[in-house]
Amino acid sequence: GAFSVSASTVAVARRRGRTVKYLATPAVRAVARSYFACAEAPGAELEDSGNSEATMGSHWEKRNFFSELMTGSTSAAFTEVLSEFTLALLDDTGWYQVTPPSPDRAPFKFGRGLGCAFLDTDCRAAA
């Protein structure tokens, strides 16, 4: 059935001409702002389309988190990475004690430091 979430957990904003939902827990929001170098980032964008309604609103947005393990799809051509976004979410739940990842793990790099324009520009407009 349907459920509602707290505004402190999910933020809603207009981006790229449509309504977008963001996971906006404190650690996730801090990671998003630092990682993307965008002080206005409301959090980490959640999937709003794709091949399955099962991924909508419960996985990271593929356009922003391409090879992250918690996107709604995978690709054999790329190594899926557990990023600081998912670790921040696990930490924010209070159910897990997250230790910093070891330096030898594959780092998540997609979109790092690209600023607010990366988050706010439609992929088709940037092509």
Q: If DSSP states are collapsed to H, E and C, what string results for 74-122?
A: CCCCCCCECCHHHHHHHHHHCCCCCCCCCCCCCCCCCCCCCHHHHHHCC
pLDDT at 29: 96
Model confidence pLDDT, tens digit, residues 5-52: 666 798 888 888 888 899 999 999 999 999 999 999 999 999 988 666
Asked if residue 40 belongs to a domain, the reply is yes
Asked if residue 77 belongs to a domain, the reply is yes
pLDDT at 105: 78
User: Can you read off the two tokens belonging to residue 22?
Assistant: 């963001």
Contacts of residue 115, defined as CB under 8 A and 6 or more positions apart, other chains included, come to 36, 37, 38
Residue 47 DSSP symbol: P
User: Can you read off the two tokens belonging to residue 126?
Assistant: 């940037």
Per the DSSP assignment, residues forming a β-bridge with 95 are none
Overall domain count for the chain: 1
Give whole-number Cα distances, 56 to 34, 46, 47, 60, 65, in Å: 25, 7, 5, 9, 14
Does 124 have pLDDT greater than 80? no
Widest CA span in the chain: 42
CATH number assigned to the domain comprising residue 69: 3.90.132.10
Model confidence pLDDT, tens digit, residues 67-94: 888 888 777 767 788 899 999 999 999 9
The range of the structural domain enclosing residue 98 comes to 10-126
Model confidence pLDDT, tens digit, residues 41-57: 999 999 988 666 777 77
Q: Is 59 annotated as a binding residue?
A: yes
User: Can you read off the two tokens belonging to residue 21?
Assistant: 């939902």
Q: pTM score, two decimals?
A: 0.84
